[in-house]
Chains A and B, each alone.
Chain A
């Protein structure tokens, strides 16, 4: 356990922290400490307890047992307010912002002092917001309502809040999950600046290359227990993976095997004024994985929403298996054999309150329940099969979707659409926030589906994933498809297309 920096007493330490949700033991006695001026990565499979651990640190959840010490003070009832006073700031996996309020106000509410009868200085709020946003390199208007921002933009607002709070401890729970390369680089710069200023950063990510690029030490969690803290210079990627999953996992992408067949989906000049997409033309063949890359806000999700009938197209022509396709609503799209695994799984992918089994059969009501009469046995059978096939970690088919960790929720969402036996599968960020073990599992499944003759569109901000998995790569920029590259193209080519011909990737 070589120390990366010689600071003697830790900024924060956690002893024997334990937490259960009902019957699920999310943490079972974890020790953890954070020093000033270090980036401490937290690593573990989906459901290992990372998010739970940081919720304890930020006071969002009370631990069932254990103690927290911050700057030498042992704290008993840590609340979010107290944590804030102590200089702990957090960027949650899903941003905890106020969608109806403006960006400036969101930042203001977090950073301003507590007095209830204090006068609000709107001018100062806006100036401060503008300055902080500039600091994280975001071009967001302080007067914009947060609901109008995209997910990554919201994350940048969160980061601006943390910086503004002058936090001495900054927690980031998968901040890059929906960021693209460029934003990621900007984020790294910010993190390094924080470290240089003596701030302790807890950094959670499933992307190992990020951790190696950024972190000083890493703590690995497995099944709610810490399996060790290491300096990054002492471990290898393979070693970390083994610690995480307790076995060896090859992080290679499964190779394309079959030659693509007939065109399944053809788009010609497709656009939708309302969602800012225009003039998209490409085709996807049976047995082909068509990767879609692009920067944040390039319109990839919007394109998927058009194909799924959520925002019907108002220009161009779409054909599916040589028949005209113009879905005006998701049910129509589903009836035509289109499946869409959305990027925001907590809001769209699974219904958190409903059992896993019901989540999985949601899109196959017609086939599974002829005449509209529910059949419990058929449903349970289907769910059990998928739980087994996709290795979903759960108490059983009747456990509510919300009790699963992010990665397992993603698998449930995937299962729902595989159950429809679609002709075209659209995956939006399929492995966002999914641990390496599950990730390669999902990659294997996708490849297998393609091999069975399914046409797959895979939208991803994870460049290695797009490069490794795709047979062809479409690149989107500013709401339109700017290039289609062959699979295995160099990363630089994809980036160049995503940024526009004349621009070069920003090295910062």
Chain B
């Protein structure tokens, strides 16, 4: 119980917000808009799954936004050339994995600090994309929309896929040896090495996995609209990291889980629609989001302080 304090408190906070909305803005609960909201957040959730792994492994990746953009544009170009989606999706995931592998090699292979490495790749990828594409949009063929399914089916597919990934990763992190290795490496890489785990390999693989998930998420976003803007992933990294951290994944590695991150993501995702529903002016949004992040960590800090001394 004590161990999962943070996950529980975030879930409670989420519950409170949802309850408040039920009281003051019951219109929030309409199936179709909620499904739309879920669909919009599904790609973010997929990226968050990968980010949880990376942060538990005591690393961070701030280049996911740029990776997302690069994958989106490349996947869109392929789709525009007439590639079937069945090939575009794996191609995008593979490209993402490749970009993740670059980070992985630099972080795990050369033992460079991940925050700086991914800062560098973030800038490099983003500017490289701008240089090559000069900000041009890509128009997508009709067949790409919703995987060529009907809209409702497409939305359910996306939300279902994201949730399935969440559950799969959540279970794997708890019940697969590989998942526990990520925790072990994040807690103490040297101890992991002495226990026969290969920390560098694990670190490399979590970056690759995050990249692949980002590539996948890019296609999940792609099918939602007839056009792709190259700035599509801008700011995604902060959104995902904030959600993961609010959900109780410790930035110092080794602690936290996917369920908390999920709750954190839902909490932050609710802010913007909640403001609209409560008729609060838009210019408060950033301040409120910042306050939520701070409140979440402050609550944790106060509790730990009390507990320790």
A and B touch in the complex (CB under 8 A): yes
Query: Which residues of A approach B to under 8 Å, CB–CB?
Result: 58, 60, 80-81, 84, 90, 92, 96-101, 105, 108-110, 112, 114-120, 122, 145, 274-275, 311
**Chain A nearest CB, measured from B95 CB (Å):** 25
Report B-chain residues with C-beta under 8 Å of the C-beta of A119: 175-177
Q: Once bound together, how far apart are the Cα atoms of A101 and B197, in whole Å? A: 15
**Chain B nearest CB, measured from A111 CB (Å):** 9
State whether the Cβ of B194 lies closer than 8 Å to any Cβ in chain A: yes
Given known contacts A98-B188, A99-B187, is B176 in contact with A80 (CB within 8 Å)?
Answer: no
List CB contacts (< 8 Å) of B221-260 with chain A. 253-255
**Chain B interface mostly:** helix
Q: Once bound together, how far apart are the Cα atoms of A58 and B194, in whole Å? A: 8
State whether the Cβ of B303 lies closer than 8 Å to any Cβ in chain A: no
Given known contacts A101-B254, A274-B308, is B176 in contact with A96 (CB within 8 Å)?
Answer: no
Contacts A98-B192, A274-B308 given; 19 further ones with Cβ under 8 A? A80-B193, A80-B194, A80-B195, A80-B196, A81-B196, A81-B198, A92-B194, A96-B194, A97-B188, A99-B188, A99-B254, A101-B254, A109-B195, A119-B177, A120-B175, A120-B176, A120-B180, A122-B175, A145-B3
**Chain A interface mostly:** loop
Given known contacts A84-B196, A100-B255, is B191 in contact with A116 (CB within 8 Å)?
Answer: no
Q: Is the CB of B187 within 8 A of A100?
A: yes
**Chain A nearest CB, measured from B50 CB (Å):** 17
Given known contacts A96-B188, A98-B184, A101-B184, is B176 in contact with A60 (CB within 8 Å)?
Answer: no
**Chain A nearest CB, measured from B133 CB (Å):** 39
8 A–B contacts, CB within 8 A, in A order? A96-B195, A98-B187, A99-B188, A100-B253, A109-B192, A120-B174, A120-B179, A274-B309
**Chain A nearest CB, measured from B174 CB (Å):** 8
B254 — nearest CB in chain A belongs to which residue?
Answer: A100
Q: Is the CB of A118 within 8 A of B176?
A: yes
Given known contacts A112-B177, A116-B178, is B196 in contact with A100 (CB within 8 Å)?
Answer: no
**Chain B nearest CB, measured from A492 CB (Å):** 37
A310 — nearest CB in chain B belongs to which residue?
Answer: B309
**Interface digits, B158-201 against A, CB 8 Å rule (1 contact, 0 not)?**
00000000000000001111111101101110111111111000
**Interface digits, B252-271 against A, CB 8 Å rule (1 contact, 0 not)?**
01110000000000000000
List CB contacts (< 8 Å) of B195-215 with chain A. 195-198
B180 — nearest CB in chain A belongs to which residue?
Answer: A120
Report B-chain residues with C-beta under 8 Å of the C-beta of A311: 309
A59 — nearest CB in chain B belongs to which residue?
Answer: B194
Count, A-B residue pairs, CB within 8 A:
78
Given known contacts A101-B254, A274-B308, A311-B309, is B194 in contact with A60 (CB within 8 Å)?
Answer: yes
**Chain B nearest CB, measured from A420 CB (Å):** 25
**Interface digits, B1-14 against A, CB 8 Å rule (1 contact, 0 not)?**
00100000000000
List CB contacts (< 8 Å) of B131-158 with chain A. none
Contact of B176 among A84, A98, A116 (CB under 8 A): A116
Q: Is the CB of A96 within 8 A of B309?
A: no
B205 — nearest CB in chain A belongs to which residue?
Answer: A116
Q: Once bound together, how far apart are the Cα atoms of A110 and B180, in whole Å? A: 12
Q: Is the CB of B196 within 8 A of A114?
A: yes
Contact of A118 among B177, B188, B192, B198 (CB under 8 A): B177
Q: Once bound together, how far apart are the Cα atoms of A331 and B295, in whole Å? A: 31
Report B-chain residues with C-beta under 8 Å of the C-beta of A60: 193-194
Q: Is the CB of B178 within 8 A of A117?
A: yes
Q: Is the CB of B187 within 8 A of A101?
A: yes
**Chain A nearest CB, measured from B252 CB (Å):** 9
Please list the 8 inter-chain residue pairs (A to B) with the smallest Cβ-Cβ separation, ordered nearest first.
Answer: A100-B254, A81-B196, A116-B178, A98-B187, A100-B187, A96-B191, A118-B177, A96-B194
**Chain B nearest CB, measured from A352 CB (Å):** 14
Report A-chain residues with C-beta under 8 Å of the C-beta of B184: 98, 101, 109
Q: Once bound together, how far apart are the Cα atoms of A220 and B17, in whole Å? A: 68
B190 — nearest CB in chain A belongs to which residue?
Answer: A96
**Chain A nearest CB, measured from B259 CB (Å):** 17
Q: Once bound together, how far apart are the Cα atoms of A105 and B309, in whole Å? A: 27
A147 — nearest CB in chain B belongs to which residue?
Answer: B187
Q: Once bound together, how far apart are the Cα atoms of A84 and B177, in whole Å? A: 17
Q: Once bound together, how far apart are the Cα atoms of A98 and B196, in whole Å? A: 13
Q: Once bound together, how far apart are the Cα atoms of A109 and B253, in whole Å? A: 17
Contact of B197 among A108, A109, A115, A120 (CB under 8 A): A109
Given known contacts A96-B190, A99-B187, is B196 in contact with A120 (CB within 8 Å)?
Answer: no
Report B-chain residues with C-beta under 8 Å of the C-beta of A115: 177
**Chain A nearest CB, measured from B191 CB (Å):** 4
**Chain A nearest CB, measured from B178 CB (Å):** 4
List CB contacts (< 8 Å) of B28-53 with chain A. none
**Chain A nearest CB, measured from B98 CB (Å):** 22
Q: Once bound together, how far apart are the Cα atoms of A81 and B198, in whole Å? A: 9
Q: Once bound together, how far apart are the Cα atoms of A80 and B192, in whole Å? A: 10
B185 — nearest CB in chain A belongs to which residue?
Answer: A98
Q: Once bound together, how far apart are the Cα atoms of A84 and B176, in whole Å? A: 21
Q: Once bound together, how far apart are the Cα atoms of A166 and B196, in whole Å? A: 16
**Chain B nearest CB, measured from A89 CB (Å):** 10
